[in-house]
A and B are shown apart, each in its own frame.
Chain A
Amino acid sequence: MSSLEEPLRLDKLPALSNIDQVYRFSSGACRPVPEDMGMGNCWIEGRSCSSSNSCNEDFGEYKQEHVTWRRHKRNSFHRTSSLGRGSVACRNMGEFDYLSNHHHPSCGDNDTGESKYKLFKGVPKYVKIVEVGPRDGLQNEKTVVPTSVKIKLIRKLVSSGLAVVEATSFVSPKWVPQLADAKDVMEATQNLEGVRLPVLTPNLKGFEAAVAAGAKEVAVFASASESFSKSNINCSIEESLVRYRAVTSAAKKLSIPVRGYVSCVVGCPVEGYISPSKVAYVAKELHNMGCFEISLGDTVGVATPGTVLPMLEAVMAVVPVEKLAVHFHDTYGQSLPNILLSLQMGISTVDSSVSGLGGCPYAKGASGNVATEDVVYMLNGLGVKTNVDMGKLLSAGEYISQFLGRPSGSKTAIAISRRDSRECC
């Protein structure tokens, strides 16, 4: 097996198949636990896991390796205990974080109707993560980030497996100077394959500029709050929708998909509470004009599961759930529970920003976007596929945080980096 002096990594364990590797690091929930681990008192009475027995059947064929692994693990613990707690802890924590597939997917999809999985019944098997860091994140930075840094960030994000990375925005540089280099960014990222790079286009002019620069997907941005619409895009909701109809019909002619954003879906900094019916109205309009996906954004981060639920119900009544995405802000720390609830309601697309880039423009110093690393960590733990490589994602986050000269906005990233770089315990 691998050397015990280094952290164990998946690539160093050729003898174990993929399933075994997941199995190895997953919590004891879905596996039978052997009677005696020989590490001390036998606190496990040898009963198989109290959770679904169907998991045992699934892993029946792996029982052989399973036992082998257990022995191996015990030996590794004893052998390395002399190395000090530090290195042992490092190793195991590394296994935890990079893998974090503690919950084997098949357990999550259990159909026996046992009560504990009722809470996960609606959770989709695969969640698409739309990375908005390069656009929504960087557009809020005080200092303008150089084009080369943006391009490198986008490349790193793409290499981590993210399927959609919002590259830039074709709004007037007068309003958003941070994204004035939209054309250059688009040119440099033309050749990236296997990823979609939508760009924001607030009007027909922006759309034409985007198409000229080679954009293959665009996005438009409406608001559920009249006051916010007026203050943010300087026109009423209806006027903005008219503008976007022009964009979508032009996009349709060129077969370019359009994503619609709705902001202030729960609360508005000016108006306060936004009624779900308004959100549903705007979402429906965007859907009718041809948007293939509607992203519901809690712009000021005030949503909690209690307000997300009625809002989603109202929208899901008029737009099919597979066309919905959620875009929560973490200003009040509520985004992950909101995302969890949305998943339970069947939403399968989540917007997030690497390293939590993008402050909240309405409460100085408060945070904004939810960090992609934290979202992926949770999804991995839920057994939901994302196709995102956590290690590479972390390195992208580290890169941009280092450039911006401040700590990552992702707790997962901080925990993993601190843990890896010190003497722990």
Chain B
Amino acid sequence: MFLPESVSKLSRFRSIRYRKYFSLFALADEMDSKVVGIRDRCFWKHAEFRNEKEASLSNYETKRPLFNKDLAFLELGAYQTLNRHYSSHYHTGEIKHKLLGSMPKFVKIVEVGPRDGLQNEKEIVPTSVKVELIKMLVSSGLPVVEATSFVSPKWVPQLADAKDVMSAIQGFGHCRFPVLTPNLKGFEAAMAVGAKDVAVFAAASESFSRSNLNCSIEDSLARYRDVALAAKNHEVPVRGYISCVVGCPMEGAVPPSKVAYVAEELINMGCAEISLGDTIGVGTPGTVIPMLEAVLDVVPIEKLAVHFHDTYGQALSNILLSLQMGISTVDSSISGLGGCPYAKGATGNMATEDVVYMLNGVGVKTNVDLGKLILAGDYISKYLGRPSGSKAGIALSNASKL
């Protein structure tokens, strides 16, 4: 984390002016005598600062009580204290309890912000911004970042620059960049720009398939078989998405057996991974379990991913439940990008920052640096001119503002 380093440097500056903040309260004196809660950093007792800015940067050791007036101070303190304590696998250790003991040790996070997120934006995001976002996401350690989509610009003008984005990210880090390819034509375009992973998109609901992809489920599967065959020839792995795995805006509840059917078809045609998407976000743990059970009958668990939408605020608890069942791949979107297309103004994708926060807390490895992730989220939120869709992102970055 960059903040603690700057803190250590600035703490050497001294000033009389802000001393009063630390001596005003009996609290500070009492806590002065003990080292509280900080196990791996040295602890300055009476820090003195040259000016307000430095004082607030070093706030974590002030031990000041919290009053409303000095919100900026304590926010940073809270951020630093809390961030250190809660954004790492700090005190969770080995969880032996049965409820959390069967969770996977490592969860792969598939970041869909640049594609699933940005494709829903009203205004078209410039290529340079997309590339910068992808760069920041890669640097945070995410193993998979869905870069773009080779659908016709007629349908998704926001991703018309697919080719340019792909060329620009060719050299980036140790990250996989799957792209959506709805048909053979899209696949060939993807190959032409050097894509090494592709994804296809089916629906578990006939009506949704017809309205979203303009063809029946069977027709879409037939198309994807062509793509999967071509991909096999190119030795390119294919990821299969299934949408409406719990509910459809038109049909209502979707039977798990339908989801299992589509999942089985996708696996049989050669998909390396199946991502189960609760497109309208109506799933709750009660509906997620039967759906996962049905799919687990036909697809091995290591090939399953979950893609929940947070439209009703249920995504994170659904993710927890999926992890308890052993799922080890989770799709999410930086800053919660990507609204729900079926309820205008409602939220859509689950925010990656919140997912990583929870995974850190339960001791699951993700290899993602939460601090850098939050920077990426801040970047795109600032560009789009609206607050982050991630609560952890807001809480942690608010605390770092002065």
What is the interface of chain A, defined by CB distance below 8 A to chain B?
25-30, 33, 39-41, 43-45, 47, 49-51, 77, 85, 88-89, 92-93, 95-97, 100, 102-103, 107-108, 116-117, 119-120, 227-228, 230-232, 267, 269-273, 300-307, 309, 313, 330-334, 336-337, 339-341, 344-345, 360-367, 371, 374, 377-378, 380-383, 410-412, 414-416, 418-419, 422, 424-425
Contact = CB atoms under 8 A, between A and B. Distances in A.
Given A50-B297, A305-B362, A371-B313, A411 B346 contact: yes
B184 interface: no
Contacts of B320: 305, 337, 340-341
A364 B76 CA distance: 11
Contacts, number: 336
B286 A334 contact: no
Given A51-B293, A419-B343, 6 more contacts: A50-B257, A267-B85, A334-B316, A334-B357, A334-B361, A380-B284
Interface residues of B, number: 106
With most chain A CB atoms within 10 A of its CB, the pick from B218, B289, B297 is: B289
Interface in B286-342: 286-287, 289-294, 297, 310-314, 316-317, 319-321, 324-325, 340-342
Contacts of B361: 303-307, 334
Contact of A363 (B36, B84, B399): B399
25 contacts: A27-B247, A28-B290, A39-B206, A39-B207, A43-B258, A44-B255, A77-B207, A89-B342, A92-B248, A102-B247, A103-B287, A116-B293, A267-B82, A269-B74, A270-B36, A272-B36, A272-B82, A272-B84, A273-B37, A305-B362, A337-B320, A337-B358, A364-B398, A381-B314, A410-B313
- List of 8 A-B pairs having minimum Cβ-Cβ separation, nearest first: A381-B284, A304-B361, A28-B255, A231-B65, A103-B286, A29-B290, A272-B37, A333-B391
Nearest to B261: A43
Contacts of A381: 283-287, 314
A25 B394 CA distance: 36
A418 B344 contact: yes
Nearest to B72: A364
A272 B85 contact: yes
B66 interface: yes
Given A92-B251, A103-B286, A269-B78, A366 B391 contact: yes
A93 B257 CA distance: 21
A90 to B, nearest CB: 9
A202 B358 CA distance: 34
Given A29-B291, A270-B63, A306 B217 contact: no
B379 interface: no
Given A102-B253, A333-B354, A382 B26 contact: no
Given A380-B284, A424-B342, A339 B77 contact: no
B286 A414 contact: no
A306 B261 CA distance: 35
B86 A267 contact: yes
Contact of B346 (A27, A45, A415): A415
Contacts of A95: 252
Contacts of B250: 77, 85, 88-89, 92
B347 interface: yes
Contacts of A416: 343
A382 B285 contact: yes
B360 interface: yes
Contacts of A382: 284-286
A415 B325 CA distance: 28
Contacts of B86: 267, 273, 302, 304, 307, 332
B316 A306 contact: no
B389 to A, nearest CB: 10
Interface of B: 25-27, 30-31, 36-38, 63-68, 71, 74-75, 77-79, 81-82, 84-86, 90-92, 95, 97, 99-100, 206-207, 211, 216-218, 246-258, 260-262, 280-287, 289-294, 297, 310-314, 316-317, 319-321, 324-325, 340-347, 351, 354, 357-358, 360-363, 387, 390-392, 394-396, 398-399
Contact of B63 (A97, A227, A371): A227
Contacts of B354: 332-334
A378 B285 contact: yes
Contacts of B399: 363
B257 A28 contact: yes
Contact of B290 (A116, A301, A422): A116
Given A269-B81, A360-B395, A415-B312, A425 B390 contact: no
Contact of A25 (B27, B252, B255): B252
B358 A270 contact: no
B284 to A, nearest CB: 2
A108 B286 CA distance: 8
Contacts of B289: 29, 116-117, 119-120
B363 to A, nearest CB: 5
A47 B255 CA distance: 12
Given A50-B260, A300-B78, A382-B285, A333 B351 contact: yes
B293 A411 contact: no
A361 B216 CA distance: 51
B83 to A, nearest CB: 10
Contacts of B312: 97, 374, 377, 411-412, 415
Contacts of B207: 39, 77
B355 to A, nearest CB: 9
With most chain B CB atoms within 10 A of its CB, the pick from A49, A96, A306, A411 is: A306
A418 to B, nearest CB: 5
Given A272-B38, A333-B351, A380-B284, A49 B255 contact: yes
A26 B395 contact: no
A306 B84 CA distance: 16
Nearest to A371: B313
B211 to A, nearest CB: 6
A117 B396 CA distance: 36
Nearest to B284: A381
Contact of B395 (A272, A301, A337): A301
Given A306-B92, A333-B357, A383 B286 contact: yes
Contacts of B314: 336, 374, 377-378, 381
Contacts of A40: 206, 216-217
Contacts of B357: 304, 332-334
A358 to B, nearest CB: 14
Contacts of A267: 82, 85-86
A361 B317 contact: no
Contacts of B248: 92
A331 B391 contact: yes
Nearest to A412: B312
B254 A27 contact: yes
A418 B255 contact: no
Given A267-B86, A305-B100, A378-B285, A418 B346 contact: yes
B65 A230 contact: yes
A416 B283 CA distance: 14
Contacts of A39: 206-207
Nearest to B399: A363
A313 B100 CA distance: 13
A301 B68 CA distance: 18
B392 A92 contact: no
A313 B97 CA distance: 10
A270 B285 contact: no
B99 A344 contact: yes
Contacts of B316: 333-334, 336-337
Contacts of B252: 25, 92, 95-96
